[in-house]
Each structure stands twice: as C-alpha cells, then as structure tokens.
C-alpha cells in the first residue's frame, strides 16, 4: 500500500475513532443520566468522591473555560480543522507521532464542533476530583498535544545525538582525567 494512503488512513482513522467514541459516549450520557445527575457503577462506588460520570453542558472551551463563547469556539474549531487538514499532506512521511497527534486533535475538534452545531453547547461528563468536567473530545485534544510535544522532544533529541551535541550515555568505565 502506498505510504501516502497509509498516512491518510492513520490520520483520518484516528480522528474518526475519536469522533465516534466521543459522540457515542455523549449520546449515552444524554440518554441515561438526567442533566445535573451523576452515575457510577455500584462496584465502583468507592471512587465516587474522586471520579464519576455526570451530565453537564459547556458553552465555552475545554474543561469549562471561557463560558458563553460558543460562537467563538465554533469558528475556532472550523479554523483548527482547516489548518490540520491543509497541513497534514505537507508533513514528512517518517513523523508518525505528529500524524497521530494531528489525528487526535482533528477528532477532538470535530467531536466538540458537532455538539456546538447541533445543540449550541458541548456535553461534558467525565468528572475527576476537583478538575473541571470534560469529555472524550477534550481528552483527545489533550492527548494529541502531549503526543505532539513528546514527538518534538524525541525528534530534537535524536537530531542532537546524530550531530554529537548531546552525549548518549556517560560511560562509567572511563575515568575522568585528573587535574594537577
């Protein structure tokens, strides 16, 4: 199979899985838990003070920031999606971490954009301790950013090693020169 086709399958496959899982979980929450309610399986009741599934809406950005900015974030999501789709074919074939990161970010942006267009707000449902309530799309964007940062760090580290700018590992068998 052509490497470009594989790249596009990774990019759109990851983003499609992210959107599908995000939309399915949001649908399940809206159908199963009344707004403002919470749920946790009985066998996980001990987690209740720390983690639970809740039914909440968000008209702002990820993790509840900038409430009532739905129009701004709808436009921003279109811009982000456009930039990702435009930039993806221009990436180096070898940079799979960037492709994975961009696929996760595309899926997250599209998942929340679907909610904004259909409902005018985003369904959030994952509640962990005092952290703001979030959803699979928010998590996908966040994981995508982490993968991107790790990929950039690994690439820079590899380039420095190849250029001899960073010692790979100190050799314990070599004793340092003594002064004097």
Strand order across the 38-39 sheet:
38-39, 51-58, 122-128
- Is residue 22 annotated as part of the catalytic site, yes or no? no
- Is residue 171 annotated as part of the catalytic site, yes or no? no
> Which segments of the chain does DSSP mark as H helices, in order?
3-32, 70-87, 96-119, 136-162
155 near 87, Cβ under 8 Å? no
Parallel, antiparallel, or unpaired for β 51-58 and 38-39? antiparallel
The helix-helix angle for 70-87 and 96-119 (nearest 10°) equals 150
Catalytic residue among 22, 95, 138, 171: 138
Catalytic residue among 7, 22, 115, 124: 124
Catalytic annotation, residues: 124, 138
């Amino acid at each position: 199979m052509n490497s470009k086709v594989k790249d596009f399958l990774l990019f759109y496959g990851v983003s499609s899985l992210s959107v599908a899982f995000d939309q399915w979980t949001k649908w399940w929450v809206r159908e199963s838990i009344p707004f403002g309610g919470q749920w946790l399986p009985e066998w996980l009741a001990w987690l209740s003070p720390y983690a639970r599934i809740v039914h909440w809406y968000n008209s702002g950005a990820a993790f509840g920031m900038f409430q009532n900015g739905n129009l701004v974030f709808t436009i921003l999501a279109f811009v982000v999606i456009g930039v990702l789709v435009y930039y993806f074919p221009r990436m180096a074939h070898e940079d799979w971490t960037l492709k994975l990161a961009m696929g996760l970010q595309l899926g997250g942006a599209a998942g929340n954009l679907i909610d904004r267009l259909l409902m005018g707000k985003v369904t959030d449902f994952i509640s962990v301790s005092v952290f703001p309530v979030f959803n699979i799309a928010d998590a996908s964007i966040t994981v995508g950013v982490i993968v991107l940062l790790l990929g950039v760090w690994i690439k820079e580290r590899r380039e420095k090693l190849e250029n001899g700018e960073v010692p790979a590992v100190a050799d314990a068998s070599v004793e340092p020169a003594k002064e004097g």
